[in-house]
Structure 1
Amino acid sequence: MKDSHRQQGKRQQLVKIVQEKGIEDQKVLKAIGSIPRHLFMDSSFEDHAYQDKAFPIAADQTISQPYTVAFQTELLQIKRGDTVLEIGTGSGYQTAVLCYLGAKVYTVERQRELFKKTERFLPKLGYRPKYATFGDGYLGLPDYAPFDKIIVTAGAPFIPKPLMQQLKVGGRLVIPVGDEVQIMTLLERKSQKEFKKTTFGEFRFVPLLEDKN
């Protein structure tokens, strides 16, 4: 689990790239500059780790583009101690960013292969989600709700009602909505019944899978 000076240098170049694309939150930039993304990928693809691109991982999933991770995280406005529900643990890279920022992370993964790998791997790097489980992201985690923030890291055809219900008043939900192409969407819960919706351009994610069992 090496993190060489060369890799650290490449990370700083990556920080400059996402900053030039418009990311301003210094804590998010520091997270991108600190977390060894190459360790979340197969070692044979190490040279791709610090390009600002998504990359395939196991189970037909991807590790998200660093800019996308930074963009979603910046929209969440994480404060230390926030309870955050993450739908789609994936490689664990986004989970690590949230943990680095001091969030108490509850994370759900639909692919058992990925879940088992990430569950073992994250603590080795010192990132410990509060709770990680294998399950259906459309349902959220009602037993641990309400959450300060909710992030969905896969493309959803619609915003699942259970996730809206599990958001605290004053909370923020960030989700890419759409089929082929997704529109990044921010929902802010203003009251029990009122949500404010803001959209931010097109992104491409793997689809959010429903549990068909």
Structure 2
Amino acid sequence: MVGPREGFVDRIRQGGVHLSPSLAAAFAEVPREVFVPDGFQRRDGTWAKPADPDFLDVVYSDDVLVTKVEGGRPVSSSSQPSLMALMIETLDVRPGMTVLEVGAGTGYNAALLAALGARVISIDVQDDVVERARAALARAGVRDVRVELGDGYVGRPDEHVDRVIVTVGIAGVSPRWQTPIVAPVEHAGTHPVLRVGSDHTARVVTPAGFMVAAGPLTAAHPFPGPAPPGTIKGLRPYGETRFDPPLDPLAYRDLWYAAGVWNRRATQGAVPGREQSSLMLLDEDRTGGAVVLPDGSIGAAGRWADEYAAEATAVIDRWLDLGRPPMTAWRIVLAPGGDPDSPVLLPHTWEL
């Protein structure tokens, strides 16, 4: 393996992911560029094409490749390789197993699973995504993957499935899926990846953000949707900074996750002057609330600014009093919710 593909596995490992020898071999052998023949959207919004000089350099970076955009919103992609690796390792796939994949994407994830010896049934609700994934898998010479058009909520009740992996953000898992399940489940405006067991308890695997699924899997929204740019104006500072140095990205996500456990108004918001989204307690008007930054400083706006600033302060205090628990420390119990005709199992209670 030479050229841009050389070092791809090492770049995935640099994200702190442990790769088994078999999964490392899969990443080394499956050609990612075959699954993005029409290119992808760069982070600056421009479209990368196969003829571009740096096309393969970007393909073999540890970054998400957005392959379909509708109305300015990404709706399909090839996920960040290190995140894919972590989810696949958590799935604990072994040769001969049947894996149900909800969300086909480009077909690349299914190809990696097949390289591990799995038989894969991949389901997607977008017919063009299904056709492109099928074509890419055929070009790559991948066998043992069946890509179907349909609603992943139903699963495959007429077939034995050993594992379920979900590659789109969902509000809760389908009670029709066999366990174990690895899935990004909505929490405070993000989609941390959960591993769900047969007793419908779960643990957080990693923080993440995903494009949102359609249908019953997102019929329930326990948290307010993210606050887009320009929504929150006139933030006023409340109190002093609490963390010097500021929390690193993972610790900030730990605080963020705890905020979602304790406050159902927790979500993400775009804050002027900050490139990354921030933890926010969004008020009922969706024009104010309180923002918590990585240094622990709080800014608040809107009719109930004082109340939301106090709630944000209470979240920080409680997290510190508990010894800054990481998100992976929470044990989550799922319970039915959402549409009564098509219920999903939602995170219901949390304990450390």
Question: What value does the CA root-mean-square deviation take over the aligned residues?
Answer: 1.9
2:60 is matched by which residue type in structure 1?
Answer: Y
> How many Å separate the matches in 1 of 2:165 and 2:132?
21
Aligned equivalents of 2:8 and 2:127: distance in 1? 31
Larger proportion of helix: 1
State the alpha-carbon separation in 2 of the partners of residues 111 and 142 from structure 1: 21
Q: Is 1:181–2:181 an aligned residue pair?
A: no
CA distance in 2, matches of 1:86, 1:205: 15
How many aligned positions are there?
Answer: 195
Checking the alignment, whether the CA contact within 8 Å between 2:98 and 2:119 is kept in structure 1 is yes
Structure 1 residue 208, shift from structure 2 partner: 1.4
Q: Per-residue displacement from partner, 1:115-169 (whole Å, max 9, x unpaired)?
A: 011112202211123432101112212222x311110000101112222xxx1xx
Change (3 A) 1:27 1:156: same
- The 8 Å contact of residues 17 and 85 in structure 2, kept in 1 or not, is answered as no
Specify the SS of the correspondent of 1:24: coil
SS in 1 for 2:62: coil
- 1:95–1:129 CA contact under 8 A, matched in 2: no
Question: Superposition pairs for residues 185-204 of structure 1, below 5 Å?
Answer: 185-189=194-198, 194-204=199-209
Aligned equivalent of 1:37, options 32, 36, 39: 32
**Residues 114 and 145 of structure 2 are in contact (CA less than 8 Å); yes or no, is this contact kept in structure 1?**
no
Match of 2:210 among 205, 209, 213: 205
Matched, 1:56 2:61: no
Report the Cα offset of residue 56 of structure 1: 0.9
* Displaced runs of 4 or more, over 4 A: none
- Aligned residue number for residue 83 of structure 1: 98
TM-score norm. by structure 2 comes to 0.52
Match of 2:149 among 123, 131, 134: 134
How far apart, CA to CA, are the structure 1 residues paired with 2:68 and 2:143? 21
Determine the C-alpha separation between the residues in 1 that align with 2:85 and 2:67.
19
Report if aligned partners of 2:26, 2:116 keep a CA contact under 8 Å in 1.
yes
d(CA) in 1 for partners of 2:11 and 2:5? 14
Larger relative contact order (C-alpha < 8 A, sep ≥ 6)? Answer: 1
Identical columns (%): 26
Contact 1:88 1:137 in 2 (8 A): yes
User: Could you say which residue in structure 2 is the equivalent of 1:158?
Assistant: 172
Deviations 1:69-99 (A, max 9, x none): 1011000111100010000111001010001
Structure 1 unaligned blocks of 5 or more? none
Judge which range, 38-47 or 146-155, deviates more.
38-47
Q: 1:185-206: CA deviations, max 9, x gaps?
A: 00122xxxx2342112310111
